[in-house]
Amino acid sequence: MVKAWSSIIPLFILFGFVSVTHSQLPMPENPRWEPIVDEVYLQEVSQRIPTETPLHSVAVFEDVAYVGHATGVSALVGDSLIPVEGPQSSIRRLVVIDNALWAISKKSVWHYSKGNWRKVLDGQYVDLCTFNDDIIIASKKHLYRLDDGELTQLDGERGSRYAILSVATYGETLYVRHSNDLSFLLDGQYQQYDVHDWGELPKASVTRDMLSLGSALVVPTSKGLASLRGTSWMTLTGEDGLCYEDTTSIAEGFNRDYWVGTMRGAIRAVNGEFHYYAGQRWLPNDKVNSIACSDNTAYIATDGGLGIISFEPYTLEKKAAYYKRWMEEWGMKRLGFIQTLNKQSDGSYVRFLSDNDVGWACHYLDALCFEYAVTKDPAVKAEAIDVFNTVKWSEEITPLDGFPARAIHAVSEEATLASTGSAGRPSEWNLTEDGKWKWKGDTSSDEIASQYYTVSIFYELVAEGKVKEAAREHIERMTNHIIDNGWELCDLDGKPTVWARWSPTFINDPKHIAERGLNSGQALSMVTTAQHIVGDTERYSKGKAQLIDWGYPENTLRTKMTFPHYTFFDDRLAFLGYFPLLNYEKDARLRGMYMRSLERSWEAKRFENQSWFNFIYGALTGNECQTQEAVQHLRDYPLESIVYRFVNSHRHDLQVPKGYKNYVSNHKALGPREQGVRRWDRDPLQLDGGGNQSIEDPSSFLDAYWMGRYYGMILAPTTKDKSLLTVKKRNLQLGAEPYTGPQRPKLRYEQ
């Protein structure tokens, strides 16, 4: 059961949530979810510096990153790698020990401190470490103590039986790494048999690096990440969550974490989890050769340059402000719409007018409505009304009462127009009588579902006076059109559009059996919303009675499509429908059927941990909705809303996590760190994709974040530091040129 917000104000005051006493959206009574404070966290910020040749090694010394490559050493200065004095030959390894930077080239060893480079040794050496306050240097056969340029051999004349690849101190003992094994030095002799009593290195593997890390000696191998604890070997693989098993290097991090390089990306191990960084967003090349960390930044040397991932303190509220600024700076806002941008061959960006521009504007309007309900910021309210006017305009621009356009184009503006419509058919761009505008027809159920969902939220949380009446009229005109046309949306030719069809003729057709539950729920949601907002007129009561008589409530059980068809974008449509339907339906029998449908859909969706779906489920049921995972999902959103290429099909950690079931395929869902900024119709099971570097719409984040804040699933930040709550306005123009076409005409209620 649900009841009005005012009845649970004490609960949200208890959790520090700002109440909105005039809200009419129902709120769960005594919700079971765990409220999560929007506390300060570390947000990844990526930078890539490409190079024509591979970088072999990287180290951080005195807050400067140095890289070793085929012709010497370079320092990171600003955004550039600048060659330094010192070794001028190929660098094998950079090591920071004894308050100095050491560079090991093929034929010499160099030392850098106090601004000076000097050559310490000639000869072929492989690694350095400290042991009992001494500097230890390794060649392929021997270990030496290095003291003021003099070498003292620590092992016998024959040295190591197997080639030494690196050296490290663990358990107050010197260990050396070989290609397929380790040994340690005892009384001048290399011991292999006493290295371990239990376990072993992965069979047929090759060791790649070695690091003493607390109680373990960690060894990246070609078949997993091996750890020697005492005399016991254990190996982390994909089954343990290691993203990719062909590991190359390891480095200590900055927040009790460590970093692992692989042949296909970098991995951060933190708090028992593994975070994967690969592809165009994070690295200039996926083959990682070396990693080094400063206090808040990882420097990743790859075959194609240096990847830099810094971690800056953020709150989700600050990220929301960042995305709003991003949309302004990149020219994504236009006439109340939020447009994605296509990258042209010359590097410039042009707005793309899509199949569902009004629907995507709706998600931004949702965010503004929830934000206004939380903050009472008059500027947010004004923008919400402006975007609503665009949504309403989509219906007023067409000559058909109650028929909204998909998108609107000013004839004089530069833009790329969608060339196809529903089911791959040619687009239907129609010219207005005054010749100023084109509107896109063949409107689909996507648009209709978006508008009912959003206008109901706007009606309850923002609209007042004439604006509220305009919202009511908008719902009325659309609903009347659909019911009067036999539960179908009819276009200029008088025929139904391809997908906006809810008649029994359509949904009972065997060809559309998979959509039967979804379309039934949409029809019920529309008429129930109209009954609440417009009034329970005879037209609506008869229309709803028809749907009930046709068995539509029973059809809703299998709204979520799983087998044999799976269409991820329909999941968004389903939850758009659930929200007003369960907010407004009062009949206990009907609510029971709808709630069963929602529970079924949620069970099939919850393993994805997509914030918007989680929050809708929690808002409608009051049940635990994985708020911790939903908040982490939002934190994982990258700051850049650029569509970079991503590849994950090679990974070894794709198994579905314990406690969840994927009812569609046999691998886990991916998050925004791996796929990028997403709309809520994005397929979270897509392993590979992207790459066109278009600019994506971040409204999805804003919608979910402010919904979470409104319902108290996300609590307000406790910090008072303004730099952690907002971003400075910069007045930059980074993407599409500012819109200079005609302005939206006045609507009926504005005249």
Q: How confident is the model over 709-718, as pLDDT tens digits?
A: 999 999 999 9
Mean pLDDT score across all residues of the chain: 94
- Indicate whether 561 pLDDT > 90: no
Extract long-range pairs of 587-590: CB within 8 Å, 24+ residues apart: 590/524, 590/548, 590/553
The whole-angstrom separation of Cα 701 and Cα 316 is 9
In the numeric block, which tokens belong to residue 270? Answer: 């933190």
- Indicate whether 664 pLDDT > 90: no
Residue 483 phi, psi dihedral angles, 5° rounding? -65, -45
Burial degree of 353 (CB within 10 A; 0-12, 13-18, 19+): buried
| Helix (H) or strand (E) segment spanning residue 42 | strand 41-50
- Indicate whether 562 pLDDT > 60: yes
- Indicate whether 571 pLDDT > 60: yes
Each residue's pLDDT tens digit, 623-658:
999 999 999 999 999 999 999 999 999 999 999 999
Which 8-state DSSP code applies to residue 7?
Answer: G
pLDDT, position 2: 38
CA 419 to chain centre: 28
pTM of the predicted protein model: 0.94
252: helix, coil or strand?
strand
Extract long-range pairs of 456-460: CB within 8 Å, 24+ residues apart: 456/529, 456/532, 456/533, 456/579, 456/580, 456/583, 456/584, 457/25, 457/365, 457/366, 457/369, 457/370, 458/365, 458/369, 458/384, 458/388, 459/533, 460/23, 460/24, 460/25
Each residue's pLDDT tens digit, 276-310:
999 999 999 999 999 999 999 999 999 999 999 99
pLDDT, position 149: 87
pLDDT, position 340: 97
CATH topology for the 43-314 domain: Methylamine Dehydrogenase; Chain H (2.130.10)
526 Cβ partners below 8 Å, 6+ apart? Answer: 448, 452, 478, 479, 482, 502
536 Cβ partners below 8 Å, 6+ apart? Answer: none
CB 37 within 8 A of CB 718: yes
First to last CA, the chain: 42
Question: E-strand spans in 372-483?
Answer: 408-410, 416-417, 429-431, 437-440
Task: Examine residue 564 and say whether the peptide bond preceding it is cis (omega within 30 degrees of 0).
Answer: yes
Residue 32 burial (CB count, 10 A): 11
The dihedral sign for the CA sequence 361, 366, 367, 372: positive
Domain coordinates of the chain in residue numbers?
43-314
Pairing of strands 297-302, 305-314: antiparallel
Q: pLDDT > 90: what percent of the chain?
A: 92
pLDDT, position 1: 34
- Indicate whether 726 pLDDT > 70: yes
Greater confidence, 560 or 746? 746
- Residue of 503, 497, 498, 451 whose CA lies nearest to 478: 451
Give the least confident one: 67-71, 73-77, 664-668.
Answer: 664-668
388 Cβ partners below 8 Å, 6+ apart? Answer: 365, 455, 458, 462, 463, 467, 470, 471
230 Cβ partners below 8 Å, 6+ apart? Answer: 171
702: helix, coil or strand?
helix
CB 337 within 8 A of CB 724: no
Confidence of residue 563 (pLDDT cuts 50, 70, 90): low
Burial degree of 532 (CB within 10 A; 0-12, 13-18, 19+): buried
Give the bridge partners for 640, in sequence order. none
pLDDT, position 16: 37
pLDDT, position 12: 38
Alpha helices in 4-125 (DSSP H): 9-14
Averaged over 351-371, what is the pLDDT? Answer: 97
HEC-encoded secondary structure of 70-93: CCEEEEEECCEEEECCCCCCCEEE
Confidence of residue 421 (pLDDT cuts 50, 70, 90): confident
Each residue's pLDDT tens digit, 10-24:
333 333 333 334 458
Averaged over 610-633, what is the pLDDT? Answer: 98
The dihedral sign for the CA sequence 193, 195, 197, 202: negative
Averaged over 437-443, what is the pLDDT? Answer: 97
Q: How would you list the strands of the sheet with 100-105, edge to edge?
A: 91-97, 100-105, 108-113, 116-122
Q: pLDDT > 70: what percent of the chain?
A: 96
Which 8-state DSSP code applies to residue 64?
Answer: E
pLDDT, position 455: 98
Averaged over 520-527, what is the pLDDT? Answer: 98
Which 8-state DSSP code applies to residue 745?
Answer: P
Residue 420 phi, psi dihedral angles, 5° rounding? -125, 165
The whole-angstrom separation of Cα 395 and Cα 406 is 9
The whole-angstrom separation of Cα 185 and Cα 151 is 17
- Residue of 186, 84, 81, 176 whose CA lies nearest to 129: 176
Buried b (16+ CB within 10 A) or exposed e, 382-412: ebbbebbbbbbbbbbbbebebbbbbbbbbee
Averaged over 429-457, what is the pLDDT? Answer: 97
pLDDT, position 43: 98
Greater confidence, 723 or 426? 723
The whole-angstrom separation of Cα 61 and Cα 81 is 15
Burial degree of 472 (CB within 10 A; 0-12, 13-18, 19+): middle
Which 8-state DSSP code applies to residue 556?
Answer: G
129 Cβ partners below 8 Å, 6+ apart? Answer: 95, 97, 135, 136, 167, 168, 169, 174
The whole-angstrom separation of Cα 204 and Cα 457 is 60
